[in-house]
Amino acid sequence: MYRMRIAVITVSDSAAAGKREDASGPAVVAVCRGLGWEIISTQIVLDDLGAIRRALLAEAGVKTPVPVALTITNETDIQQAGEVIQSMAREAGFDVKIKSMEFASSLQAAYAGDFEAYLIGWSGRADPDGNMWQMLHGTGTFNYGHYRNADVDEALDNARTVASVEQRRAFYGKVWERERDDLPLIYLWAPANIVGLKASITGFRQVPDGLIRLQGMAMR
């Protein structure tokens, strides 16, 4: 029979500095043991993301720094984001090596699965299906990591069969519940769409996907 093995990490500046006794860690240990789980270790760390991440890696038995090759496209904003990730990940025990490629070449590498981590932007679509199915469905064209989850596939397919907003929202809620658990994709930011027009231009309509459409526009 499978037995859960637990590492308990208490996050507290004062307890880590010896200024107060840790009460929460032993309480968690008692609960876990009451459930029949095995406690493999306990430790106290500072309330610092870097310290927490290093502790998690150590408990996982991973030798640091962990080498990771990050493939990025050669646009300025993506390169800057890659450098930020590289710097922040270093604090957590990851040695990120940036591999910058021309956009089309990076896509070919992604389709072939020739990457460890891939950072790329997405222009977005007005309908939610266009922002999910191709990336998260097991047969999606842009599912570069070959993620496959039967529950996610079913929910995405079912959302295509109904028109009701409430029904679609329920299906997509199931998708994101699993996405947050599995993390096949990590969404870092959503850009602000700022459009400037001359006063003489009329008929412009902003669409949530950020793409500019000229239909219906005119100049006085």
Give the integer Cα–Cα distance in Å for 142 and 174. Answer: 20
Instruction: Please identify, among 43, 59, 75, the residue that sits at the C-terminal boundary of a domain.
Output: 59
Question: Do 69 and 22 sit in the same domain of this protein?
Answer: no
Q: Answer whether residue 201 is part of any domain.
A: no
Find the domain containing 96 and state its range: 65-121
Q: Answer whether residue 25 is part of any domain.
A: yes
Question: Do 117 and 69 sit in the same domain of this protein?
Answer: yes
Question: Do 77 and 43 sit in the same domain of this protein?
Answer: no
Secondary structure (3-state) at 168: helix
Question: Do 50 and 12 sit in the same domain of this protein?
Answer: yes
Look at residue 120 in the predicted model and tell me its pLDDT.
92
Instruction: Please identify, among 76, 95, 121, the residue that sits at the C-terminal boundary of a domain.
Output: 121
Q: Answer whether residue 77 is part of any domain.
A: yes
Q: Answer whether residue 212 is part of any domain.
A: no
Question: Do 52 and 70 sit in the same domain of this protein?
Answer: no
Q: Answer whether residue 202 is part of any domain.
A: no
- Find out whether the peptide bond into 208 is cis, omega within 30 degrees of 0: no
Sheet holding 66-73, edge to edge: 94-101, 66-73, 117-119
If one counts every other C-beta atom within 10 angstroms of the C-beta of residue 144, the result is 21
Give me the tens of pLDDT residue by residue for the chain, a chain 220 residues long.
457 889 999 999 999 999 999 999 999 999 999 999 999 999 999 999 888 988 888 888 888 899 999 999 999 999 999 999 999 999 888 999 999 999 999 999 999 999 999 999 888 888 999 999 999 999 999 999 999 999 999 999 999 999 999 999 999 999 999 999 999 999 998 888 888 899 999 999 888 787 888 889 999 8
Question: Do 71 and 45 sit in the same domain of this protein?
Answer: no
Question: Do 74 and 113 sit in the same domain of this protein?
Answer: yes
Give the integer Cα–Cα distance in Å for 61 and 153. Answer: 33
Decide the pairing of beta strands 66-73 and 94-101. parallel
Q: Answer whether residue 75 is part of any domain.
A: yes
Question: Do 13 and 47 sit in the same domain of this protein?
Answer: yes
Q: How many domains is the chain built from?
A: 2
Q: Which amino acid is at 82?
A: G
Q: Answer whether residue 78 is part of any domain.
A: yes
Question: Do 71 and 109 sit in the same domain of this protein?
Answer: yes
Question: Do 73 and 46 sit in the same domain of this protein?
Answer: no
Question: Do 36 and 17 sit in the same domain of this protein?
Answer: yes
Look at residue 2 in the predicted model and tell me its pLDDT.
57
Instruction: Please identify, among 42, 59, 76, the residue that sits at the C-terminal boundary of a domain.
Output: 59
Q: Helix/strand/coil (H, E, C) string of 66-126?
A: EEEEEEEECCHHHHHHHHHHHHHHHHCCEEEEEEEECHHHHHHHHHCCCCCEEECCCCCCC
Look at residue 190 in the predicted model and tell me its pLDDT.
84
Give the integer Cα–Cα distance in Å for 213 and 123. Answer: 14
Q: Answer whether residue 23 is part of any domain.
A: yes
